[in-house]
């Protein structure tokens, strides 16, 4: 059961104290407070955990400070929708809103290689009005002999260059809690020129201790990628680990599934699950066309497969696109064959815009259809 409190209810207020006294008296039920500081208001939710079957919704609704009570019938206690359309499906970070109704492109380097390439990438993004990017410093690799990323040594120049070119959010994979500490230190050392979205990759989707650690910090939002060989339900539960520890700023990433059925793509593209994740949870949904397709193969219509699947995800309502670009793909240290070039950036963004417009028109069409047939909803 979730109690949604009136906006701006403070935990040191008399109303809140009375509520806690009441909750403490319910046998076999614990409660946990979750607060979200938005730009305009403080949102507080109280989760009742345990034997809530006998708890009366009516009694609780009449308690001071309680605005609404939602009984949870499904899984994903914190991140699920639970038939309450009024709970937030967005969060703000470093001046950027991430929601189920927004779309951000995170074009950038799969792996940081040189300061020159980082600068060229950031410059190109600024020229196109972009405020987000991806930059890999810690790379989980299949072979222990492959390049593992520059690690913390590249962080200062990556962050400074991001700040120089107005980039507000950098998606960066972490594979160990020490990486979060290194990122925090480098941000402090450089004077916080940019923000970071911690990325948990497909190989770590069920690294529960990493999830708990990243979930316990609320400073950085998290992009959790779907596990490439587990069910969607298992991956959504992994996201719930982050939220249950306190961090609700989670974006869920689709990046294709490992199966030979997807050949000749690197993974079987799973972007048909964009609307499914949006229906089951309140998380914005990211698509990663680069790691799904894994090549620069081109269809007879002149479009690269990477661009085709991007459009498929966007037209289905995706909220974020994580995509590999490189100023000189032949020199990329990781995943060069799937990278798009800086020359292709404006073209890619325009193609995304076309697909987004089509999605918005489809959404309007659906609304109109249901408005004319109220009983069909």
Residues near ligand PEP, by CB under 6 A = 110, 136, 173, 201-202, 225, 255, 288, 291
> CB nearest ligand PEP: which residue?
201
Taking the least distance from each CB to ligand PEP, the nearer of 255 and 326 is 255
Taking the least distance from each CB to ligand PEP, the nearer of 136 and 195 is 136
Min CB(137)–Mn ion separation in Å = 13
Min CB(219)–ligand PEP separation in Å = 21
Tokens encoding 348: 């890619």
Residue 201 binds which entry of Mn ion, ligand PEP, none, CB below 5-8 Å type-dependent: ligand PEP
Residue 89 binds which entry of Mn ion, ligand PEP, none, CB below 5-8 Å type-dependent: none
Taking the least distance from each CB to ligand PEP, the nearer of 70 and 137 is 137
Taking the least distance from each CB to ligand PEP, the nearer of 110 and 243 is 110
Closest by Cα among 131, 124, 101 to 284: 101
Min CB(21)–ligand PEP separation in Å = 47
How many Cβ atoms are within 10 Å of 211's Cβ, its own excluded?
25
Taking the least distance from each CB to Mn ion, the nearer of 38 and 337 is 337
Instruction: Kindly report the backbone phi and psi dihedral angles of residue 322, in degrees, each rounded to the nearest multiple of 5, phi listed first.
Output: -100, 120
Cis geometry, peptide bond prior to residue 244 (ω within 30 degrees of 0)? no
Residue 150 binds which entry of Mn ion, ligand PEP, none, CB below 5-8 Å type-dependent: none
Min CB(238)–Mn ion separation in Å = 20
Taking the least distance from each CB to ligand PEP, the nearer of 202 and 281 is 202
Instruction: Give the number of C-alpha atoms closer than 13 A to the C-alpha of residue 2, restricted to the C-beta side.
Output: 24
Residue 255 binds which entry of ligand PEP, Mn ion, none, CB below 5-8 Å type-dependent: ligand PEP
Min CB(256)–ligand PEP separation in Å = 8
Q: Measured in whole angstroms, how far is the alpha carbon of residue 261 from the centre of its chain?
A: 27
Residue 104 binds which entry of Mn ion, ligand PEP, none, CB below 5-8 Å type-dependent: none
Which residues make up the interface to Mn ion (CB under 5 A)? 110, 335
Instruction: Kindly report the backbone phi and psi dihedral angles of residue 223, in degrees, each rounded to the nearest multiple of 5, phi listed first.
Output: -105, 110
Contacts of 221 (CB under 8 A, 6+ apart): 91, 93, 98, 197, 198, 247, 249, 250, 251
Q: In angstroms, what is the C-alpha Rg of the chain?
A: 22
**355-361-366-369 Cα dihedral, nearest 10 degrees:** -150
Taking the least distance from each CB to Mn ion, the nearer of 78 and 322 is 322
Angle at alpha carbon of residue 212, lines to 208 and 213, rounded to 5°: 120
Min CB(141)–ligand PEP separation in Å = 9
The distance in angstroms from the start CA to the end CA of the chain is 26
């Amino acid at each position: 059961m979730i109690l949604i409190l009136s906006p701006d209810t403070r935990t040191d207020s008399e109303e809140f104290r009375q509520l806690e006294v009441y909750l403490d008296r319910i046998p076999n039920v614990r409660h946990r407070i979750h607060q979200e500081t938005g730009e305009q208001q403080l949102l507080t939710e109280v989760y009742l955990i345990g034997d809530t079957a006998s708890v009366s919704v009516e009694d609780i609704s009449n308690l001071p400070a309680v605005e609404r009570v939602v009984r949870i019938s499904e899984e994903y206690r914190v991140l699920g929708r639970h038939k309450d359309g009024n709970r937030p499906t967005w969060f703000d970070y470093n001046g950027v809103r991430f929601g189920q109704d927004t779309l951000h492109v995170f074009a950038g380097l799969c792996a940081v290689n040189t300061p020159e390439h980082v600068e060229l990438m950031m410059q190109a993004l600024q020229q196109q009005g972009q405020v987000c990017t991806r930059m890999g410093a810690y790379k989980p690799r299949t072979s222990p002999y492959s390049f593992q990323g520059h690690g913390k040594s590249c962080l200062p120049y990556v962050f400074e260059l991001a700040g120089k070119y107005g980039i507000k959010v950098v998606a960066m994979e972490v594979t160990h809690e020490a990486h979060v500490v290194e990122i925090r230190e480098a941000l402090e050392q450089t004077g916080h020129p940019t923000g970071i979205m911690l990325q948990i990759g497909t190989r770590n989707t069920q690294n529960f201790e990493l999830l708990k650690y990243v979930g316990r910090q609320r400073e950085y939002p998290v992009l959790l990628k779907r596990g490439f060989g587990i069910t969607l339900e298992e991956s959504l539960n992994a996201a719930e680990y982050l939220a249950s520890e306190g961090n609700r700023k989670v974006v869920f990433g689709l990046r294709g599934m490992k199966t030979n059925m997807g050949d000749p793509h690197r993974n079987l593209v799973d972007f048909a699950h964009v609307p499914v994740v949006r229906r089951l949870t309140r998380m914005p949904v990211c698509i990663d066309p680069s790691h799904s397709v894994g090549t620069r193969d081109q269809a007879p219509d002149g479009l690269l497969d990477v661009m085709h699947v991007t459009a498929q995800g966007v037209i289905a309502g995706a909220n974020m696109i994580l995509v590999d670009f490189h100023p000189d793909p032949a020199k990329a240290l990781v995943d060069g064959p799937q990278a798009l070039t800086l020359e292709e950036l404006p073209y890619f963004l325009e193609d995304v815009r076309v697909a987004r417009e089509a999605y918005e028109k489809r959404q309007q069409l659906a609304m109109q259809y249901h408005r004319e047939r109220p009983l069909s909803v």
